[in-house]
Amino acid sequence: MTQAAAPARSSLASSPDGQWVAVRRNDAIHLLAGGVAPAVGKVDVGSDDADVAFVGPPSMVVVVVRNVAPRVMLYQPPSLEVVARHDLDAPMRIAAIAGPRVVLVAPDNKKLVIVRVAATALSAQTVDLDGPLDFVVGLEKNQLLLSIQRKLEVWDAATGRPVLRMQLQLPPPPRTVGAAQGHIWVTRPSADDVIIYRLSDGRPFRHVVGAATVDVVANPTSPIIIVGTQRHLVRLHCFAHSVTVIEAPWAPGVPIAQLAVGDDVSLLGLPAGQLEPWRVPIAGAGAPAIPPPPAEEAPPEPPTAEPVSRFRAIRDKQDADRAAVALPVPPTPTAAPAPAKPRPKTARDWREGVAAIGADLVRGGTPELAAPLDDTELADLADRLLLSKRSIRALVALYGLYLVGEPELSIADLAQVLGDWTEPLGSGELAALAMLKRKGGRVSLRPAVTDLLDGAKPRAVRIVGNAAGKPRSGAWRYAREGKSDVELETLLAGAFGRIAVIESDPDRAILEARLRGATAVAFHPPEHKPTPWPRDAGLVLVLYGSPSSWIADLPNLDA
């Protein structure tokens, strides 16, 4: 959103509650109930150079006129009666919406005005910027994301002040930036991809849409992004990371909008010369299901196959909601088009399904908390710790919430989701293994757990050895006897199979070692006994001489 788009002679906007659709044709605005003709209200704004948007609740129509007496007009549905007006000292455009506030930006990007909409009034606040504005995007919870002189900050729309500095590796301008639920999306001129950044951790995801992007429709409260390219329309789901071509009577230049009524979301498009937009379901009732990628043919198992993992017996009965984009390739006279190759499975694929579970939980749903396929970080952890089905379901729920940026859940809500109070109250396996963080009646996974499930390296230990297993339970002393660190690491790794050399915080280190099937080793004794102590965790303290008080009571290790 680095430059203002040329004013269109027609546009389309929908209200947040899905009740109204505003159609602008030249100077006139028509209000449709539910997007269905005939119009229930009509008003002439006296200019074809105007922006139309909805704010709310309650839903109100805001019109910003530029070329004739620049002003902001507020209209009340369904009659479109004028209830408020605010004159501007220069032409401005609508750059973002944040709840009941409209953000206006001057053509030179050097002036920003936040207009608050009330039932029958408008109030404006001019914000002094440090330099030219690169872009501004409306987020959830009445927040804004601004980029000014390469500084990326989250602002409180109510106060017009920055509250958080962000670090996102965005591509350089020119670019178009917008928001979807829990994410920021970026498109670039002539590029055939959309880059999505997860706001919880800044992680980018690149999705190829098959052609240069010409239009994008998204909403900060919806995970669905509609991308109009030079060839077709594409639906992109931020949580499931699925990309699907949409069959719709659309062409570049046709205004489009999303209309959400509860969980049912439709795509609206306004063809030339018509007042009622066409409608295509994209989510909820009537929307086509996204087929999973074609399964690869598995080789026959040998007669003496390895025992089936106990984790496989309780894995998910449904694959994650994901699909590869199948771009249409016209056939040639001499050869039939080649069949689309199935997208190869990656380490990211299994997290798509868990993220979809987390998104459903955030919306108040009750998804099946089934585990992902084998050969994943979650499956390996469950097998290594011999977790029960009840504990795995809790792990899936909490990791899914973490993936969508809502890592905490109340004890009562988690118990309702699981149908059991054991893990939420801290009397289950996950608590015994120190994997849960419980504070103020809310439950989440400890960072050491989410790091492992993310596939990240441990932060407090250095792993030596490959034979992961159950550590030698307890804490032990071991005499150095003139041996170097390298000699000791080799000796202890040979004795235990895998060790985790503590390099920083011992409290985090003992958990990281237990989760990764290693016995912790400290060459410098910690000042206190690590806490919390995971069940069956092992710690070896390599000492020179006089131990501290808590270490003195430990038995000597006979390696």
SS3 of 15-61: CCCCCEEEEEECCEEEEEECCEEEEEEEEECCCCCEEEEEECCCCEE
CA distance 256 to 23: 11
What tokens appear for 44 in the block?
């002439």
Instruction: Considering only CA atoms, give the Rg of the chain.
Output: 29
Residues contacting residue 484 through CB under 8 Å, at least 6 positions apart: none
CATH number for the domain formed by residue range(s) 167-287 = 2.130.10.10
Tokens (6 digits) for 37: 């003709």
Res 307: pLDDT:
40
The residue whose two tokens read 């498009």 is 269
Bridge partners, residue 60, by sequence: 55
Q: Which residues on neighbouring strands pair with residue 183, listed in sequence order? A: 180, 198
pLDDT tens-digit readout, 164-173 = 888 888 888 8
Strand 256-261's sheet: what is its strand order?
256-261, 264-269, 278-283
Distance between CA 267 and CA 227 in Å, rounded?
11
Instruction: Report d(CA 89, CA 122) in Å as an integer.
Output: 15
Inter-residue contact 258 to 266 (CB < 8 Å): yes
Task: Report the DSSP beta bridge partners of residue 93.
Answer: 105
Distance from the Cα of residue 369 to its chain's centroid: 19
Confirm if 515 and 448 have CB atoms less than 8 A apart. Answer: yes
Tokens of 419: 């149908």
Q: What is the pLDDT of residue 447?
A: 94
Contact predicate 403/378, CB 8 Å: no
If you ran DSSP here, which 8-state letter would residue 480 be given? -
Q: Which residues is 138 bridged to in the sheet?
A: 144
Find all residues with CB under 8 Å of 128, minimum gap 6, and list them. none
Main-chain dihedrals φ then ψ at residue 183, nearest 5 degrees = -145, 160
Q: Cα dist. 4→135, 171, 176, 365 in Å?
A: 10, 19, 10, 39
Beta carbons within 10 angstroms of residue 360's beta carbon: 16
Name the amino acid, one letter, at 429: E
Cα(441)–Cα(432) distance, integer angstroms: 18
Residue that the structure tokens 């030079």 belong to: 230
Among 281, 245, 367, smallest CA distance to 317 is for 367
CB proximity list for 54: less than 8 A, separation 6 or greater: 13, 14, 15, 16, 20, 22, 60, 61, 62, 97
Q: Where are the domains of the chain?
A: 1-144, 167-287, 348-453, 461-552
Structure tokens at 14: 């929908």
Tokens found for residue 144: 């804004």
pLDDT tens for the chain, 559 residues: list them.
Answer: 333 344 447 889 999 888 899 999 889 999 999 889 899 999 999 888 999 999 987 889 999 999 888 999 999 999 899 999 999 999 999 999 988 899 999 988 888 999 999 878 899 999 888 788 999 999 888 899 999 888 899 998 888 888 888 888 888 889 999 999 889 999 998 899 999 998 887 889 999 998 999 999 998 878 899 999 998 999 999 888 888 898 888 898 899 999 888 778 899 999 888 888 999 998 876 666 544 433 433 333 333 333 434 333 333 333 333 333 333 344 444 444 444 444 444 445 788 888 889 888 888 888 888 766 567 888 888 888 888 888 999 999 999 999 999 888 899 989 988 888 989 999 899 999 999 999 999 999 999 999 999 989 999 999 988 776 678 788 888 888 878 888 888 888 888 888 999 998 999 999 999 999 999 999 888 888 899 999 989 999 988 654 454 565 567 776 5
pLDDT digits (tens, 9 = 90+) for 370-396: 766 567 888 888 888 888 888 999 999
Q: Are 391 and 430 in contact (CB under 8 A)?
A: yes
User: Would you tell me the crossing angle of helices 349-362 and 389-403 to the nearest 10 degrees?
Assistant: 80
Asked if 209 and 170 count as a contact pair (C-beta separation under 8 A), the reply is: no
| Total number of residues shown for the chain | 559
**Gap between the Cα atoms of 516 and 451, Å rounded:** 11
Which of helix, strand or coil describes residue 251?
Answer: coil
CA dist., res. 314 & res. 393, Å (int): 9
Q: The domain at 1-144 falls in which architecture?
A: Beta Barrel (2.40)
Structure tokens at 277: 């937009």
Q: Phi, psi at residue 152, to the nearest 5°?
A: -110, 115
Distance CA 46, CA 49 (A): 9
Pairwise CA distance, residues 64 & 23, whole Å: 15
Amino acid at position 59, single letter: S
Q: Where are the beta strands (DSSP E) in 188-232?
A: 193-198, 204-208, 213-217, 224-229
What is the identity of the amino acid at 103?
A: V
The whole-angstrom separation of Cα 54 and Cα 33 is 14
- Record the pTM: 0.53
With 0-12 / 13-18 / 19 or more C-beta atoms within 10 angstroms meaning exposed / middle / buried, residue 252 is exposed
What per-residue confidence (pLDDT) applies to 336?
46
pLDDT in the model for residue 289: 56
Number of H helices, E strands in the chain: 9, 35
The span from the CA of 206 to the CA of 199, in Å, is 15
